[in-house]
């Protein structure tokens, strides 16, 4: 299935890399936005200055070790929108534009606080950017 590139707006900016990953993993633009707005967990991203957030997907199970089928991860960087009042420069955090860098599905449940489970091919692509 060929995915069209989501349009950049005042809240989100999309990279070509994430468009390819959306097609590969079958992740929609609206799912990515939901994960960013309402994450179950937020971690520091693997790339400097990035944030990775996660939301579970799949039907809940009775198994306590794996309460859901998998996780959808989104890595983004908050682009600083700054405002100047007098001679003070303020960062407006609640209205920052986010550049969506990559997304992936992680099968299973990752441990909180552990290193982010980024697949090897995504790590290689990020290092080559």
Residue 6, in any domain of the structure: no
* Nearest-angstrom CA–CA distance, 47 and 51: 8
* Nearest-angstrom CA–CA distance, 56 and 71: 4
Residue 1, in any domain of the structure: no
Q: Which two tokens stand for residue 18?
A: 């994430």
Per the prediction, the chain carries an average pLDDT of 81
* Nearest-angstrom CA–CA distance, 115 and 76: 16
Residue 5, in any domain of the structure: no
> Percent of the chain scored above 90 by pLDDT?
41
| Maximum pairwise Cα distance, the chain | 57
Q: What 3-state class would DSSP assign to 8?
A: coil
Domain interval for residue 105: 12-128
Please give the model's pTM, rounded to 2 decimal places.
0.72
Output the pLDDT for position 48. Answer: 81
Output the pLDDT for position 22. Answer: 92
Considering its fold, how many domains does the chain have in total? Answer: 1
């Amino acid at each position: 299935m060929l995915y069209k590139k989501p349009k950049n707006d005042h809240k989100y900016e999309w990279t070509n890399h994430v468009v390819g990953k959306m097609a590969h993993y079958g992740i929609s633009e609206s799912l990515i936005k939901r994960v960013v707005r309402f994450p179950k967990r937020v971690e520091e991203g693997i790339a400097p200055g990035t944030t990775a957030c996660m939301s579970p997907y799949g039907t809940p199970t009775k198994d306590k070790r794996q309460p859901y089928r998998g996780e959808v991860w989104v890595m983004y960087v908050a682009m600083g929108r700054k405002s100047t009042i007098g001679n003070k420069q303020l960062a407006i955090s609640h209205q920052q534009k986010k550049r969506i860098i990559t997304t992936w599905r992680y099968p299973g449940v990752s441990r909180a606080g552990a290193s982010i489970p980024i697949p090897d091919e995504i790590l290689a692509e990020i290092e080559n950017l």
